[in-house]
Amino acid sequence: MCNLQALRQLIAKSLDAVHTRRLTSIAIPAIGVGKLGFPEQLVATIMLDEVRQFSSHKPQTSLKDVRLVVYPKDRQTIKVRI
């Protein structure tokens, strides 16, 4: 479970870095669903949770466009519904 916490922190730090640099967009890949073997549903939930949390804590951010990226041939991750 420790690695999932690291995933949360990585996403949060990435969002903060974009905010600090006053950038307007970021693309975040579905990290961990491949070789690390994290469950697709859990990764999708973590990604969305972190974006929502960031947005609620920093409503005045310059960040307006967040793209959650999934490898097109990764059918399992594409099927995930949150």
- Domain ranges across the chain: 2-78
Share of the chain above pLDDT 70, in %: 91
Report pTM. Answer: 0.85
Where does 2-78 sit in CATH, by number?
3.40.220.10
* Whole-number pLDDT of residue 17: 97
Confidence category of residue 4, pLDDT binned at 50, 70, 90: confident
User: Please, which pLDDT band fits residue 82 given cuts at 50, 70 and 90?
Assistant: low
Cβ density class 22-57: b for 16+ within 10 Å, e for less: eeeebebebbbbeeeebebeebbebbeebbeebeee
Residue 41 confidence (pLDDT): 86
